[in-house]
Structure 1
Amino acid sequence: MEYRPGTGYSLPGRHESFWMATTAQTSHPPLSGDLETDVAVIGGGIVGITTALLLKRAGYMVTVIEADRIARGVTGRTTAKITSLHRLIYAELIDRFGSSQAKQYADANQAAIDTIASFVREYDIPCDFVRKPAYTYAESEEERDLVAAEADAARSLGLPATFVEDVPLPARTYGAVRFSDQAQFHPLRYLLYLASLIPGDGSRIFEKTRALEVQDGGGWCAIRTENGIITSRAVVLATHYPFYDSPGFYFARMEPSRSYVIGARIDEPFPEGMFINADGPVHSWRSQPAEGGELVLVGGMEHRTGEQVDTRRHYRDLEAYARSVYPIRSVDYRWSTQDYITIDGVPYIGPLADGHENVYIATGFRKWGMTNGTAAAMILADMILGRANPWAEVYAPDRFKPAASARRFLVHNIEVAERYIGGVISRPAGDLRDVAPGEGRILMIEGEKTGIFRDHEGRVHAVNPTCSHLGCIVAWNSAEETWDCPCHGSRYDPDGKVIHGPAVRDLKPRGG
């Protein structure tokens, strides 16, 4: 069914992440005034909280600040697979980086699984942690060879990989690479327990505290926030995308990507395992214990953030796909998430750049943030503590391998330029009277480009659609009712308030 604003078209399920719906919201205070700490961590997701806890356990005073509430950003919208099987990546890593660095990536993600398991065991965290196999399955004879090659590549790196003919899904498959002893959990129950261990002995968590600027020099860093200045010896940027990028390095080397999840009930037991297809549009499956019975999480339909498409269609297409595989009794939840993909497919983890050795970054997880994010925390904690880390080389932010990434680098920058320039010079058509309730458009009003959203009560919300980050023109996201930037992934609510960085300033109101 095609969505037409005002026609009564509805989307499936409750518009909320299952993880958020089943955990209480935190209530840490905002920063009030200036303070000094050993390490300041900006961002309260899996990277920030895990890094902070590791450093506190090592005796450091750590301060975590979060623009909203901890664990309610990208980490609160994941599918929460804890696995080193990242679709098809190991044959590609061996080809791009060589076996030694490919093994670093493999070992880091396996170590992350064990670290999460050890935290769950040590603190007896009630987070539905369970070991399960993970599968990347072929959906055609052509993909079968790719999957078999991935199994061989992964096994050569010491990973628990086998090629299997039978995949326990009712969908038509042509074999899979299977990793044994992987895991899944409830990410917010896990992370909020870790966060509860941070405050005390000079360590703190502050919410509703947005970082606006970082200054690095003389062995000390200063973080200017809305509520005061934090001075520290080191800063960890765990903001998903670096809002602070003084060398201009990251803007052009990552692209933002959105994807979608539905939580459905089926009339039969879900098979033992976590599943994702090998190629083409993503189809991801896992189950989750829930009140009233097992919930099946189906994910996919990824696209570049800010694309000029009706994003509501992605939920409908995902539901239709799920129904083509299983008889769906109900769709109870739906949500979307965002991640960044680096030009060579490997996250950036380490010092921000030359001349900024006291500022550390972790970003570009390519939709595999539970293990890569935990590995990032382990790498960054080692660096701050002055210890060597065996996996740091493959993730080093200052790497650039032309053979691996030059073409994607060029294409990405052309796309960004087209969106920036095209957005600036195009003249949007239409009239305010044409904007239906529930619809958003960019119109030319009194000679100025204006972002218009008419809410479901008929009220008009008007903003200047120029992204406050680097000046690209935002696009309306009909599924989430947000303004999304196609260049670097900043997102705003209908009135222009920042809800996702790297932007730190709101959109200006119409006429502002």
Structure 2
Amino acid sequence: MTSLWLANRPDRPLAPALAEESARRADVVVVGAGITGLVTAVLLARAGKDVLVLEARTAGAGTTGNTTAKISLLQGTKMSQILAKHSAKVARQYAQGNLEGQQWLTGYCQTHGIDLQHEDAYTYAQSSDGVAKAKAELEACRTAGLDVEWLDDADVPFPFHGGVRLADQAQFDPMPLLDNLIAELGERNGRLAEGARVQRVSHGRGGLTLRVQTTSGDVDVHTEQCVLATGIPILDRGGFFARLSPHRSYCLAFRVPGNITRGMYISTDSPTRSTRSAPTADGERLIVGGAGHTVGRSSDPAASVQELATWAKLHWPGAEQTHYWSAQDYTPADALPYVGPILPGSDKIHVATGFDKWGMTNGVAAALALSSRILGGRMDWAEAFASWSPHELSGLSTAVQTNLTVGLNMAKGWITPVTRIGAAAGENCGVVSGPPWHLQADSVVDGVEHTVSPVCPHLGGIVNWNDADKTWDCPLHGSRFTPDGTLIEGPATRNLTRSG
């Protein structure tokens, strides 16, 4: 399961993982080598900072390399969601931050010869039930200052009951961008270490110390300031795990006979349908996204992915699937990203999270805001992205409901497995069974059996099997693990305990 962007990339060795003592010090350490982390690192390096980027896997292995990569200011029904909780001023600040992120990103691509395609973006109703939401988004976008228009019809092969259009947005393959950012970082004496998972951060008299797990052992890295650009912060201080809801969504790429629908589309009504085209060396592809669910809480995500594939083949007869992948995103309780200090009044550790599936523009906006703050400045629109702000009260009821659900899933996870005692995992399946004092998670993938503890090392939730990704997913805060228990992503920083 490899994304269109990550497939067929040339092999390259991992960036060195801190073998030398001298490599373990920097003015600023950025954790996470996706779009947010690498743009932040480059901006700081341009200002003369000594920057080290630590990446647990490989650059782009997280959401950036698995996104639909739409560089759009029209973001589904995002502006309606913001205006339901915040003032028009805040909505305009959010739009301005995304505009500056978009302008920086497209400008960088043009300067460095990175291919991108300019396309119109659409938020549309796929049934009469979705029209009211689409109309509301039209007015919300106008309130935020976006030059949108309403269309009653569109030349598309799928149901279209009216929608919003924003002209001249963009889309691209994000990996050439990361390649160029890594190259520029090196040219400016910055460093990237891959296969370097940060497990904890502590304060000391000399600044911050990061405990980092590498393939050759654990090491300490010392820095004055740290940026956590890891999707969701890997530190519990600040409680961001309780202010975010983790979501997975799935993408399919198809080779399609004839012409592929132009433009970037996303529906207002469920089930969500997201489409765009993508040029490749082997011809153009259609990308279809959807089948989303809260991490660890879908009983049969594979069935939803199959339904998405069926939908695509229905509306594009003869479509041949070439790629399949998934991504993880985090929805903030108050509808706005959290970008800034991990705790109020702190200037040592910063976070960037809550982009809610629109990380291409929000991620760069976050990098602009963070680098400006670290260098002593402030973006005019930064209030809408603040990690701590009075406007967070607007998300209190959502956060309370989210955490009540988390509590229910915690209890359910510990109690339900007793009903499965003696159950065996079938091929490409996983099952958690046993009494609460002796739970085990068994899986069989491609004939290989694994048994691990199902207890998530983050806060003790019980993982569930994801039959689409073939992973163990925690329903509390979204940590994910391979069948053998190896940590993939999430607020957890350690693997599941292995049995035997």
Structure-1-length-normalised TM-score: 0.92
Corresponding residue number in structure 1 for 2:42: 53
Output the CA distance in 2 between the equivalents of 1:354 and 1:275: 38
**TM alignment of 1:170-185, pairs within 5 A:** 170-185=157-172
Q: How does 1:209-288 map to 2 (within 5 A)?
A: 209-216=196-203, 218=205, 220-226=207-213, 227-247=218-238, 249-288=239-278
The letter of the residue matching 2:190 is S
Query: Which residue of 1 is the match for residue 112 of structure 2?
Result: 123
Is 1:86–2:75 an aligned residue pair?
Answer: yes
Tell me how far apart the structure 2 counterparts of residues 145 and 437 of structure 1 sit (CA, whole Å). Answer: 44
- Partner of 1:508, secondary structure, is coil
Q: Which moved more, 1:432-441 or 1:115-124?
A: 432-441
Residue of structure 2 in register with 1:205 after alignment: 192
Aligned amino acid, residue 70 of structure 1:
A
Distance 1:315 1:328 in 2: 18
Whether the 8 Å contact between 2:417 and 2:435 is mirrored in structure 1 is: no
Partner of 2:4: 18
Deviations 1:149-173 (A, max 9, x none): 3223312322121112222212221
CA distance in 1, matches of 2:128, 2:407: 38
- Give the corresponding residue for 2:340: 350
1:351–1:402 distance in 2 versus 1, CA, 3 Å = closer
Runs of 5+ consecutive residues of structure 1 not aligned to the other structure: 1-14
Residue 319 of structure 2 aligns to a residue whose secondary structure is strand
Change (3 A) 1:224 1:178: same
Distance in 1 separating the partners of 2:155 and 2:343 = 46
Is residue 111 from structure 1 mapped to residue 111 from structure 2 by the alignment?
Answer: no
- Using the TM superposition, give the Cα deviation of residue 39 of structure 1 relative to its aligned residue in structure 2, in angstroms: 0.7
**Partner residue of 1:138 out of 121, 125, 131:** 125
Indicate how the Cα distance of structure 1 residues 221 and 485 shifts in structure 2: closer, same or farther if over 3 A, else same: same
| Amino acid corresponding to residue 260 of structure 2 in structure 1 | F
Which consecutive residues of structure 2, in runs of 5 or more, have no partner in the other structure?
none
Do 2:72 and 2:170's aligned partners in 1 also have CA atoms closer than 8 Å?
Answer: yes
CA–CA distance in 2 between the matches of 1:471 and 1:447? 13
**Deviation (angstroms), 1:355:** 5.0
CA deviation map 1:164-203 (0-9, x unaligned): 2222212221211111110000111111211111124542
Per-residue Cα deviation, 1:32-71 (whole angstroms, up to 9, x for no partner): 2542211100000010011001111111111001011111
SS at match of 2:210: strand
Aligned partners of 2:349 and 2:182: how far apart in 1? 22
How far the C-alpha of 1:218 sits from its partner, in A, is 5.0
1:383 and 1:22 map into 2 onto residues whose CA distance is: 38
The match for 1:482 among 466, 471, 477 is 471
Q: TM-score of the superposition, structure 2-length normalised?
A: 0.94
Q: CA deviation at 1:145?
A: 3.3
Q: Does 1:362 align with 2:357?
A: no
Q: 1:12 is matched with which residue?
A: none
1:375 counterpart = 2:371: no
Q: 1:443 is matched with which residue? A: 433
Stretches of 4+ moved more than 6 A in 1?
A: none
Tell me the percent identity: 35
- Report how many residues are paired: 493
Cα offset, 1:139, TM superposition = 2.0
1:294-340 CA distance string (max 9 Å, x none): 10000001001112512221221110111232213310111111111
Deviation at 1:219, TM superposition (A): 7.2
1:386 aligns with 2:386: no
The range that moved more, 158-167 or 69-78, is: 158-167
Q: Structure 1's 177 and 218: CA in aligned 2 closer, same or farther, altered over 3 A?
A: farther
The alpha-carbon distance between structure 1 residues 308 and 301, as it changes in their structure 2 partners (threshold 3 A), is closer
Counterpart of 2:185 in 1: which secondary structure? coil
Once superposed, what is the RMSD of the aligned Cα atoms? 1.9
